[in-house]
A and B are shown apart, each in its own frame.
Chain A
Amino acid sequence: MGTQLRLRSAKVLIINLGSVGMEIVKNLVLGGINSIDIVDDSVIKEEDYAAQFFLPNDDKFIGELKLPNIIEPIKELNNRVNINIHTDNFNQLLADKDFFKKFDLIIGTELVKQEIIELNELTRTFNIPLYVTGLHGIFGYIITDLIQHVSTVERNTINQAKTIGEELSLNKVVENYQVDKPNNKEILTIKDTYSPISSIFTSDNLPKQLSKRQLRKLSSSLPIILSLLESDRSELTTEEINLKAIQMCSNLGISPDILSKEYLQEFTNQQFTEFVPTSAILGGCLAQDVIQFLSKRESPINNTLILDGLRSEMPIYSL
């Protein structure tokens, strides 16, 4: 199947339509996907207006179900894409396993760890690729479990030659490599193997992929973001965040010394807040990765991307 055709036939499910969810939907609808189903049972809240650009600009909608009130502007973006909305409660929906079976790809936004793990068990059972994402102000994450994936990229020969079997990172292996000398092209086939998301919270892979210096300079945002997933989204104090993050550092086999006061303060202020430039970046990256994944072109994110808006960094770790 050609790239366009694969994209045009893909059925995607998105769970929760907040700020980053709206950015993803916008990008995928513009990209021309076959259909998007959206699950969200929330009502429009005042604070949603800070970063959710599809909301109707009228206070009388506050307190009403969100999805029925934003579907029109989404459909307007591209009338060839089918949009279906479901205002069911996601946790209840999890019991109806067959509901998830029909999708080619699932994207969960702003979920808590328990929901992610249950969803991931389902996607593994049905062999469906899963992306999860969320943000805290200027910080954010994308975690992927695409199970297994082979992608082929053709590009101008720029880099040094690769060898078959070479590890590009802990979970990316060169499966095939050809050079087309006359046209100055190289064709690189990469096989990605993914870990179940439940295992990343206790992964001992970090010390294996980072040098000592890199480990010392690791941003606090990785352990803090992972530990915030374990909370139930109710507001935590700086001390609570600190304790959880220290625990996460020990789970990941890294030194808690990396936790800085500045980051703990920023996360205390920004935990679970939405901020549109962060959503734009995350939503852009995630949609781009989904499109690349569906077209089997570039090797996708594997498996934990952290957006650190303080340092302007977006490292990807293989956990």
Chain B
Amino acid sequence: MAKDTYLKKVLGEERFNHIKASKVLMVGAGGIGCELIKNLMLTGFGEIHIVDLDTITLSNLNRQFLFRQKDINKSKAMILVKAVEKFNYFDCKLIPHHGNIMNTELFPISWWSSFDYIYNALDNVEARTYVNSIALFLKKPLMESGTTGFQGQVLPIYPYQSECFDCIPKDTPTTYPVCTIRSTPSKPVHCITWAKEFLFMQLFDEVQILSPEKLAEQRKILESETTDKKEIDNLMNETNELNDLRKLTSSTIEEFMDNLVNKIFVKDIEKLIRIDSLWKYRKQPVPLDYATYNSELSSMVKSTSSDVLHNETKVWSILENLYVLYQASKSLIDRIQSGEKFISFDKDDDDTLNFVVSASNLRSSIFGIDVMSKFDIKQIAGNIIPAIATTNAIISGFSDLQSLNYFKSYELSNQDANTVFVSMKPNRFVARATLASPNPQCASCSLSSRGIMSLSSLDGTLQELIDNIKEFYKYEDISLILGKNKLIYDFDFEDNVDRSLNSLGFKSGETLLVQDDNDELENLELYIIIGEEFKLPELTLRAKKVFKEETDAEDDEPIEEGVVDDIIEVEPPIKKQKV
């Protein structure tokens, strides 16, 4: 028998040939990606591109079977392609790309359009949403996949024929009010969030210089949470002072440590205590008595034999936490001083984790909150349900398997693929469901059309573009939003009409959302490219869909049948922000 005998038997000769001639894209070279690439190659795909922006870390090795110790810090996409050459039995053409999939310069729409199928093997919603939008622009089939712990799912997406990624509402991650985190924590998670999102970020991570507008915006957020002006002023000051502390990362560890501890665990707490209103119904925090630990701490630092750092399941004492904070700060400022411009929190970067664990524990003890072990804090700080290698293996198998029908006919419609969930029960290992139709209220696929707009130059004025769009699609009146939320034109905002497209931020890879101000036609999303000539996509826009809002009958007038006033259209969730 020949090497491909089994493949021809399983897939059928014709489909096998289709697959051999196909060019597919795999986005993500992590847990699922490592498994999926093997499956795709041994299914016989002719050309596979792999994109990932990450480098390999130590914690990847125990579940990403293509990576080894010697590959740490190297590009996942590059190493993956090297590793799989060992079993490239069918001469698959493998092209790695080290970069962010959302980068429109690296990955322009023309590049995307060359693929027959897109496989997502991603770990974040932002990139998934982006790839989904590209699949919608180009009407490309997309296989979405994901796992958490022992659960996982694959979802085949056939744009406009079946549910897209945005059709399904996502749980938004829990957020805490700023005041709880900064002034009045009551749970370990509040202190962990403070240490990770506020203290660590301010001290070590890449921060934007705060413009007066940004500061005003921050104040607004605080004002929406509390009317206590004293508390707001105090919080605004704290941020400024931390900026000063950041400069200390270029001084000695002793100076840094003393200043840090005295500020955040002593002075800041004393200031908080002085705001009486906060403690009317709460227990007051007790500032850290740093002086009493000073001598013990310095002798602990001098004796090199301490193994505190290695005991991850023990709950550390205050002294031990101070010691860990000292050691972590020392490593971090060493790294800054030897050239790292900034350091981001990563649960697998022990220096950053130790800093967050000790700082959050010290804060907890000040506020009378339970102190936790490093192991437990890692779970919370990393917000992680551990990834399980076997779940990734199962999901990668289904990701491949569920895509295969498409290669019989290359038809987007009428695909008998299934969405599959791994969730073990006594009588089944997976659950499956046939693909649902697009959600009629999905802003991404049901309430708008999409297409590619080619501009021959960016020198034209906005007015010219508006006239062209209105004429081409028969809009009466429109508003335009550039990118995520930049309103550049609507009927009472005409300031920009004489400006050039260039000056407004039009560029290749940017998107322009056209909304009908008369609410007759649906939204139109245009992906901008620079081409030979000006060209708008040939689309017949559907009438704008309207939905009846579910109302609390109590306060409203009784609804009479046929009364148009009660119909309220659902706008896509886009924030308008004038420029």
In the complex, what residues of B have CB within 8 A of residue A46's CB? 1-3, 5
Q: Which of A26, A50, A172 contacts B7 (CB 8 A)?
A: A50
Assess whether B87 is in contact with A32, with CB atoms less than 8 Å apart: no
In the complex, what residues of B have CB within 8 A of residue A137's CB? 6, 9-10
Q: Which of A30, A54, A270 contacts B10 (CB 8 A)?
A: A270
- Complex CA gap A201/B401 in Å reads 29
Assess whether B62 is in contact with A30, with CB atoms less than 8 Å apart: yes
Assess whether B6 is in contact with A274, with CB atoms less than 8 Å apart: yes
- Complex CA gap A236/B3 in Å reads 21
Residue A85 CB within 8 A of the other chain: no
- Complex CA gap A54/B388 in Å reads 22
**Shortest Cβ distance from residue B104 to the other chain A in the assembled complex, whole angstroms:** 32
| Contacts A275-B6, A280-B396; A288 near B150 (Cβ below 8 A) | yes
Assess whether A32 is in contact with B3, with CB atoms less than 8 Å apart: no
Interface centre among B6, B12, B87, B432 (most CB of A within 10 A): B6
Residue A96 CB within 8 A of the other chain: no
Contacting residues of chain B (81-126) with chain A, CB-CB under 8 angstroms: 85-89
Assess whether A277 is in contact with B2, with CB atoms less than 8 Å apart: no
Residue A27 CB within 8 A of the other chain: yes
- Complex CA gap A301/B426 in Å reads 7
Cβ proximity bits B424-458 to A, threshold 8 Å, 1 near / 0 not: 11111110100000000000000000000000000
In the complex, what residues of A have CB within 8 A of residue B62's CB? 30, 32, 78
| Contacts A23-B393, A315-B427, A316-B429; A281 near B401 (Cβ below 8 A) | yes
Q: Which of B42, B86, B428 contacts A51 (CB 8 A)?
A: B42
Assess whether A278 is in contact with B88, with CB atoms less than 8 Å apart: no
Contacting residues of chain B (304-360) with chain A, CB-CB under 8 angstroms: none
- Complex CA gap A49/B7 in Å reads 10
Contacting residues of chain A (178-230) with chain B, CB-CB under 8 angstroms: 209
Assess whether B394 is in contact with A273, with CB atoms less than 8 Å apart: no
Assess whether A49 is in contact with B3, with CB atoms less than 8 Å apart: yes
Binds B, one of A113-121, A123-131, A304-312: A304-312
- Complex CA gap A117/B38 in Å reads 34
Size class of B's contact patch? 35 or more
Q: Which of B2, B3, B9, B390 contacts A287 (CB 8 A)?
A: B390
- Complex CA gap A312/B5 in Å reads 24
Contacting residues of chain A (259-274) with chain B, CB-CB under 8 angstroms: 269-270, 273-274
Nearest residue, chain A, Cβ from B85: A57
**Shortest Cβ distance from residue A301 to the other chain B in the assembled complex, whole angstroms:** 8
Residue A31 CB within 8 A of the other chain: yes
Nearest residue, chain A, Cβ from B1: A47
Nearest residue, chain A, Cβ from B402: A312
Cβ proximity bits B408-436 to A, threshold 8 Å, 1 near / 0 not: 00000000001010001111111010000
| Contacts A53-B38, A57-B87; A277 near B5 (Cβ below 8 A) | no
Nearest residue, chain A, Cβ from B88: A57
In the complex, what residues of B have CB within 8 A of residue A97's CB? none
In the complex, what residues of B have CB within 8 A of residue A298's CB? 150, 424
In the complex, what residues of A have CB within 8 A of residue B3's CB? 46-47, 49-50
In the complex, what residues of A have CB within 8 A of residue B427's CB? 169, 209, 315-317
**Shortest Cβ distance from residue A31 to the other chain B in the assembled complex, whole angstroms:** 7
Residue A258 CB within 8 A of the other chain: no
**Shortest Cβ distance from residue B335 to the other chain A in the assembled complex, whole angstroms:** 30
**Shortest Cβ distance from residue B125 to the other chain A in the assembled complex, whole angstroms:** 24
Residue B43 CB within 8 A of the other chain: yes
**Shortest Cβ distance from residue B6 to the other chain A in the assembled complex, whole angstroms:** 4
**Shortest Cβ distance from residue B65 to the other chain A in the assembled complex, whole angstroms:** 6
In the complex, what residues of A have CB within 8 A of residue B391's CB? 284, 288
- Complex CA gap A47/B389 in Å reads 27
- Complex CA gap A57/B41 in Å reads 13
In the complex, what residues of B have CB within 8 A of residue A55's CB? 87, 89
Residue B52 CB within 8 A of the other chain: no
Residue A76 CB within 8 A of the other chain: yes
Nearest residue, chain A, Cβ from B38: A53
| Contacts A47-B2, A169-B427, A309-B401; A288 near B9 (Cβ below 8 A) | no
**Shortest Cβ distance from residue A30 to the other chain B in the assembled complex, whole angstroms:** 5
Interface centre among B43, B401, B426, B430 (most CB of A within 10 A): B426
Nearest residue, chain A, Cβ from B428: A315
Assess whether B6 is in contact with A57, with CB atoms less than 8 Å apart: no
Assess whether B390 is in contact with A281, with CB atoms less than 8 Å apart: no
- Complex CA gap A284/B395 in Å reads 9
In the complex, what residues of A have CB within 8 A of residue B63's CB? 30
- Complex CA gap A76/B427 in Å reads 37
| Contacts A76-B68, A269-B9, A274-B6; A314 near B428 (Cβ below 8 A) | yes
Residue A240 CB within 8 A of the other chain: no
- Complex CA gap A203/B6 in Å reads 32
In the complex, what residues of B have CB within 8 A of residue A47's CB? 1-3, 5-6
Question: Would you give 30 A-B contacts (Cβ < 8 Å), ordered by A?
Answer: A26-B65, A27-B393, A30-B65, A45-B1, A46-B2, A47-B2, A47-B3, A49-B3, A53-B38, A55-B89, A56-B86, A137-B6, A138-B10, A138-B401, A270-B10, A276-B42, A277-B43, A277-B396, A278-B397, A280-B393, A280-B400, A281-B397, A281-B401, A291-B390, A302-B426, A312-B418, A312-B430, A313-B428, A315-B427, A315-B428
Using a CB–CB distance below 8 Å, which chain B residues touch chain A? 1-7, 9-10, 12, 35, 38-39, 42-43, 62-63, 65, 68, 85-89, 150, 388-394, 396-398, 400-402, 418, 420, 424-430, 432
Q: A46-B1, A57-B87, A288-B388 are in contact. List 19 more A-B contacts (CB 8 A).
A: A23-B393, A30-B63, A46-B3, A47-B3, A53-B42, A55-B89, A137-B9, A138-B401, A273-B6, A280-B393, A281-B394, A281-B398, A283-B393, A287-B390, A288-B391, A312-B401, A312-B420, A313-B430, A316-B426
